[in-house]
Structure 1
């Protein structure tokens, strides 16, 4: 489907939404769009949305259809090439451990770190897949 231009939202399943709030809002600075204690918290990430659902609540829903996942999940935040090093330094300055770095075929680097639920997050510069 050529009409699809990007992923508008992605979601993680997180048991402790307060820790998610502290990490994604407090450390990464994402704006909170909506928070319903014990159920979900939604963040704005540039033009996209990061949905964090409590899997124990989400799997019991009838509408929208039940959904949940278990285990370590992964997604990547994209930053401009000019902001990549600043972003990497900001992550380190917040006391977040960078657990891996990769050089891709584009000769650009990306780096990985974990959130409090051990989900694997990545920062990629614009153009990494070009």
Structure 2
């Protein structure tokens, strides 16, 4: 069987794109590399975080020229995703989140030594900052 190399993209669906962009850019320090009215894309290490405006991706997108199409997709609800961080940066992230008025909802000390901080974005998604030792591969 061919092998999967990594998770390349993660998508979150948001109700208010300017509000979501402000959070991800100001509180988390991400910089978009492309955006339009319906989506924003951020590089996060070797992965891409995609924010889609709820209800704006329910039709097939036809790309210019012979590039192809993107089938419809959408989502709702309070989704979970995690960002990998260095253990040495954990305290700095706590201070950064606090400075942006973002409450930490939970903390976990994992058996392999990793730590996780849990907080929410403006759309209620559960975001996690995870240090090495959370999973066997991280």
TM score, norm. by length of structure 2: 0.85
Q: Which residue of 1 aligns with 2:105?
A: 99
1:11/1:53 contact within 8 Å kept? yes
Deviations 1:102-123 (A, max 9, x none): 1222132201100010011000
Q: Which residue of 2 aligns with 1:46?
A: 45
Deviation of the 1:55 alpha carbon: 2.4
Higher helix proportion, which one?
Answer: 1
Given candidates 111, 118, 135, the residue that maps to 1:129 is: 135
Q: Which runs of no fewer than 5 residues in structure 2 stay unpaired?
A: 62-68
Q: Which residue of 2 aligns with 1:11?
A: 11
Cα-Cα RMSD: 1.6
Q: 2: CA distance between counterparts of 1:80 and 1:2?
A: 31
Q: Which residue of 1 aligns with 2:32?
A: 32
Query: Number of residues paired by the alignment?
Result: 129
Q: 2: CA distance between counterparts of 1:82 and 1:26?
A: 21
Q: 2: CA distance between counterparts of 1:29 and 1:3?
A: 33
Q: Which runs of no fewer than 5 residues in structure 1 stay unpaired?
A: none
Runs of 4+ in 1 over 6 A off after TM superposition: none
1:112/1:122 contact within 8 Å kept? yes
Deviation of the 1:2 alpha carbon: 6.9
TM score, norm. by length of structure 1: 0.90
SS in 2 for 1:53: strand
Deviation of the 1:7 alpha carbon: 1.2
Deviations 1:52-98 (A, max 9, x none): 11121111235311111111011000001221222222212221110
Looking at CA atoms only, which structure, 1 or 2, has the larger radius of gyration? 2
